[in-house]
Amino acid sequence: MWIGPFTGLSPRQFNKLITALRREGADPVRKGRSWSLPLENRVLLVAAYWRTNLTLRQLAPLFGISKSAADRIVDHLGPALALQPRRRFRKDTVLIVDGALAPTRDRTVAASSKNYRYSTNHQVVIDADTRLVVAVGKPLPGNRNDCRAWEDSGTKTAVGTTPT
């Protein structure tokens, strides 16, 4: 009964997700201590963490585990639940790209940009029809020009020859 509110999926869709995760090897038999929760509950925990504003400290008691165990589950299953990047686009697809400066305090990546703040340059590509995000490039220093950041961030290679 927690599937609908915590995941936004029907029980049938949730079972299809669990089947796909098992097929991809998200629940391998391995040496060492086994997980304290079955795969279904771990997926539910990750979905609840991402979908609600609850912290791991609040979610862990709901599932009967520690905050540290909940953190390990999110770190382990999170990448398996993330969307896979699209390899090909329809022939009539048009993409829109734009660079965005994000202020940050991490000076290992950031650089002083045109607004005199330490920021990073992020290239974001969206589908012109659906307005859904298709690709996001790796962050670059904020003093990089958008044309150079387009190539260096990996977004140009991610979209291939699609009109952008």
Q: Are 150 and 156 contacting, i.e. CB atoms less than 8 angstroms apart? A: yes
Boundaries of every domain in the chain: 3-81, 95-159
**What's the confidence (pLDDT) of residue 85?**
66
| pLDDT of 39 above 80 | yes
Q: How far apart are CA 93 and CA 131, in angstroms?
A: 12
Residue type (1 letter), 153: S
The model carries a pTM of 0.58
Residue type (1 letter), 77: L
pLDDT band at 1 (very low <50, low <70, confident <90, very high): confident
Q: How far apart are CA 24 and CA 155, in angstroms?
A: 26
Q: How many CB atoms lie within 10 A of CB 117?
A: 14
The residue-averaged pLDDT of 90-113 equals 81
Q: Which two tokens stand for residue 159?
A: 């979209």
Torsion of CA 145, 147, 150, 152, to 10 degrees: -70
Q: How far apart are CA 163 and CA 55, in angstroms?
A: 41
Q: Which two tokens stand for residue 1?
A: 């009964």
Average pLDDT, the chain: 84
DSSP 29: -
**What's the confidence (pLDDT) of residue 64?**
92
Q: Are 102 and 113 contacting, i.e. CB atoms less than 8 angstroms apart? A: no
